[in-house]
Amino acid sequence: MNVADGLEMGRRLKARGFAATTDPAEADVFLVNTCTVRQHAEDKALSRLGRLADWRSGGRRLLVMAGCAAERLGPRLTRRFPQVDLVIGAKSIARFDEILDERWPRTAFDGRREWEEAWGWGAGLDDTALPGEGVAGFVTIMRGCNFSCSYCVVPAVRGREVYRPALSVIDEIAARAARGQWELTLLGQTVNSYRPAGPNPGPDGRPVGDFSDLLRAAAAAPGVGRLRFMSPHPQYIDEKFAGVLADTPAVAPHLHLPVQSGADAVLGRMRRNYTREKFLAKTRLLRAARPGLSLTTDFIVGFPGESEADFEATTSLVAEADIDGAYVFKYSPRPGTASADGPDDVPDPEKERRHATLQALLDERTRRKLAALVGTEQDVLVEAVRPDGDRWSWETRTAHNRKMFLRADRPARPGDRRRARVTAADGKTLHGDPA
């Protein structure tokens, strides 16, 4: 979401005549887009702002801080960092055009209304590619979150859920596919909660009532080869969605489904709205619908009140749910959340131990799963190509979202789709040859 929001703001600047650069010395605008889901992410952003004081004092035009940390800290930012010219919180990113109008009236440019709606995609914007955009693209379909997980600051900084009209989503998908972005990822804080109220017609005129309907419509858009989405919530995994997963080949056979803990007591304190058994039932439903599905997840260790037995329930869930991989986070209290009001009672050394234990367990599972793929053929999307001695190295990604490097006698083009034979597995990476 952070990358997608940054690219959306960048496209709006480019539509006004700016050219993208990765060299700060050339820049007239420096946009720092931030995350605040963990304290470490916020600290990194603030450190970056401090280092930009010299850039701003060198006569440059505009230093902008945007995103979730900007939303949380608000006016405190400009008091601490006077070099910041403009603060645009996450809730205001959809209004970025209006905010730019206040700084640079539109009459100073070409007078056209490039952006048809607040979501930032309109006719003519398909030619405003930016650094960071590759052969796979992001499409935001909703913003905000209606859940109230006790550890999560996102609802406070992103607001309640708002849903993008289906026709606007499909128009952007078609434009991106025509530009060569064959693989697209639909984005939202709880992406599968997509349920607009009132009329929401799709390309065929029939109403798009929920995420399953939108996924079918997106898969039918011209030029789309593969669809992914991030991040779904287990509550909205149901029989209807499983049916789409089963009969829509364009939907990738990989799902990232955050669980956070394997202990019911911890899930209850987290306000996750499901139990361990309900989560496992969802995973069984998904695997029955799509045999061979790869399932990854998120875990938080050291949540307040997490006992050793609770942690063991989490480690046992890894095997029971047949998890392919996971992001593991140590609990970080966020100001303004319910869990931050209570004691952070798991000592830091114990958090470190649990983090290392769970990560080692997951890494070993990943190694075994990848080793079992040696000798198989995979569908891959070429993302980058580099010279490698007298041969070429292709950086690719499989349908199951695994990185795979190929050695070949000839170059390929980023965006090519190929079959590849796996010859080796190294850690979390596959190696092979074009089939």
Look at residue 60 and tell me whether its pLDDT is greater than 80: no
Contacts of 71 (CB under 8 A, 6+ apart): 36, 89, 90, 91, 92, 156, 157, 158
Contact 264, 318 (CB under 8 A): no
What pLDDT does residue 288 have? 98
Tell the CATH topology of 280-372: Transcription Regulator spoIIAA (3.30.750)
> Over the stretch 160-184, which tens digit does the pLDDT of each residue have?
999 999 999 999 899 889 888 989 9
- pLDDT, averaged across the chain: 90
pLDDT of residue 113: 38
Are 172 and 124 contacting, i.e. CB atoms less than 8 angstroms apart? no
CB 355 within 8 A of CB 397: no
CB of 294 within 8 A of CB of 327? no
Class of domain 377-434: mainly beta
CATH number of 134-252: 3.30.750.210
**The pLDDT of residue 409 is above 80:** yes
Residue ranges per structural domain of the chain: 2-108, 134-252, 280-372, 377-434
User: Half-sphere exposure of residue 326, counting CA atoms within 13 Å on the CB side?
Assistant: 31
Where residue 203 falls among pLDDT bands split at 50, 70, 90? Answer: very high
- Predicted local distance difference test score (pLDDT) of residue 320: 97
pLDDT-derived band of residue 58, with 50, 70 and 90 as boundaries? confident
* Fold classification of 2-108 (topology level): Rossmann fold (3.40.50)
The pTM (predicted TM-score) of the whole model is 0.87
Query: Where is average pLDDT lowest: 17-26, 141-150, 250-259, 314-323?
Result: 17-26
DSSP-assigned beta bridge partners for residue 65: 32, 87
Instruction: Determine the pLDDT at residue 39.
Output: 87
